Amino acid sequence: MDELERIRARKMQELLRRKTQASGRSMPDSPIKMTDSDFESLIQEYPLMVVDCWATWCGPCRMLSPVIDELARDYAGRVVFGKLDVDENPRTAMNFGIMSVPTLLIIKNGKLIDQIIGVVPRDYIESKLRKHM
């Protein structure tokens, strides 16, 4: 039953995303939950993304999470932020060689262009983003 609920929720998110794009509204202003099944379509959909690869048991990931939320609000319309739980989505984590969390993947036009490993100050993340905007 849980799997059906996850599928239903994922489909609803996808429908809402499509409706938002069709109506011409801006990009999301909060991180998008990403999964193995929608990862590729999402990185193709948005020109510049930062994907926070994290795990529920990871203390440093919990420290970085509010920073990611703030950045998503502050960069809305320019950068889309996503969150990928590496324990629930091992295929994507393996594809990108994620060996430690948190890891931030900076993806432009569907291609990995940079990454940040570990907890870093907000200023450092912003300096990396500015290079790719």
Locate 73 and state its tokens. Answer: 């609000």
User: DSSP labels for the chain?
Assistant: -HHHHHHHHHHHHHHHHHHHHHTTPPPPSSPEEE-TTTHHHHHHHSSEEEEEEE-TT-HHHHHHHHHHHHHHHHTTTT-EEEEEETTT-HHHHHHTT--SSSEEEEEETTEEEEEEES---HHHHHHHHHHH-
Catalytic residues: 58, 61
